[in-house]
Structure formats: C-alpha cells, structure tokens
Amino acid sequence: MGKLYLVPTPIGNLDDMSFRAVQVLKDVDFVLAEDTRNSGKLLKHFGISTPMFSHHQHNEHKSVAGAIQKIQEGNDLALISDAGTPGISDPGFLLVRNCIEQDIEVECLPGPSAFLPALLLSGLPCDKFHFEGFLPHKKGRQTRIKELAEKECTLILYESPYRIVKLLEQVNEFMGSRRNMSISRELTKVYEETIRGTAQELLEIFKEKNIKGEFVVVIEGKSW
C-alpha cells in the first residue's frame, strides 16, 4: 500500500519551497493539485515532472475515491494546494480523513502558511488565538461575526478584496470601532504590506485604498 504526503507550497516567494518538499514531489507517483495550471508552473520551476491530477472543492468527493484507490494499489500521492499548506481553508480534510479510515499512512511536511506570519506581524497576543478562515459570504455571516465578537483570544480571518470593506464595517458594528486590528496582504511577495490600527482607522484607510490581493485579518480579542 502507498502513502499520502501533505506538501506545503510557497504563498508567494518561491525561495520558501523546502528541499524536502521538492524531493517528495519528485519521488511520489502522482500529485493532486488544487489548480493544475498554477501548480504546473511551480512544478516546472523546480524541475518536477510527476503526473498531476486536479483535486479541488468542486470535485473533491469524486477525487477522494480515485486517490484512495491509487494509494491502495501501491502508489504514493502528494497533495498540494495553490499556496500554503493543503487543508487550511483549502481541500484536504476529506482525503486525510478517508485515508485514516482506510489505515493509509499520512505524512505532513511543515511549511508555509499565511496566517502565522500575519499573526506574528500583527503585534497582538499570539499565545491564544482562534483561526476562523473565510467567513460565510452571505447566510450566517452576521451571526458568526457576533459570535466571534465574544471571544477573548486573538482572531484570524481570511478575506477577499471584494469583501474587506464589508468585513471592516461589520467589525466596527458588532465588535466596536476601538478594536485593534492588523491586515496583511501579499505576504512574502514584493509588495508585502501590513497595516495596523483600530477597526475605525482601518475602515477609513481601506475605503480609500486601491484593494488588491488576498488578506489575512487579525483582530484583538474581547477585553472585559
């Protein structure tokens, strides 16, 4: 029986790719990728010619069955996402769970992830934190923000450029305009940026800002 490897990939700077990650991707029989076009560029950059198949949120249930079969036939598989560690706000959980249920060995390599650098750059307490990932776009979003507002630990969210102003408006409304926050974008890339301030200050900045890139939002926990 084969094995599943979870392989983190750079979130921007290709120099963050580890030697071990490159070697595993060269050695396995197949690579499962969230987007084969994006990952194809990464593999080509590091001289990796391993056959690749798609594994994303729209085909995940079907893809898991095929992946399990390949592993049971003796093939080693590596799972990668577009950027960062697979399974963190990306496909991966279902495959890992099914492998465990089938007594298939799973190995996870350490590596890049966007939320930890953003947390450390925020200047907010990082001894206890809650990682939320992406909030619901519509249904349940407001309810979830109200629930998060009661947590006393530092909060970490992912947000797109299309909803960052909306998020800041909701933080101001449901968590308070004086909550300290940090917003990081383009981490490890040329135009990496982290902006810190209160919820009100950041809302004013981002209403006027030309918004691009994906964001990691770090929010101060509730203080009594």
- Domain limits, the chain: 3-108, 115-219
CATH fold of 115-219: 3.30.950
Rounded alpha-carbon distances, angstroms, from residue 98 to 66, 72, 87, 112, 164: 11, 12, 13, 24, 35
Mean pLDDT of the chain: 94
How many beta carbons lie within 10 A of that of residue 38, not counting itself?
15
Helix H or strand E segment including 77: strand 77-80
Distance of CA 122 to the CA centre of its chain: 17
Task: Write the pLDDT tens digit of every residue in 80-108.
Answer: 999 999 988 888 899 999 999 999 999 99
- The pTM assigned to this predicted structure is 0.91
CATH, domain 3-108, list 3.40.50.2300, 3.40.1010.10, 3.90.480.20, 3.40.50.80: 3.40.1010.10
Please tell me the predicted confidence (pLDDT) of residue 60: 75
Distance separating alpha carbons of residues 39 and 31, to the nearest angstrom = 10
Q: Which of 139, 143, 148 is closest to 217 using CA atoms? A: 148
φ, ψ of residue 106 in degrees (nearest 5): -120, 130
Query: Residue 171 has what pLDDT?
Result: 98
Alpha helices in 73-191, H assignment, sequence order: 93-101, 115-122, 141-148, 164-174
Q: What is the DSSP letter of 15?
A: G
Residues 111, 25: contact at Cβ < 8 Å?
A: no
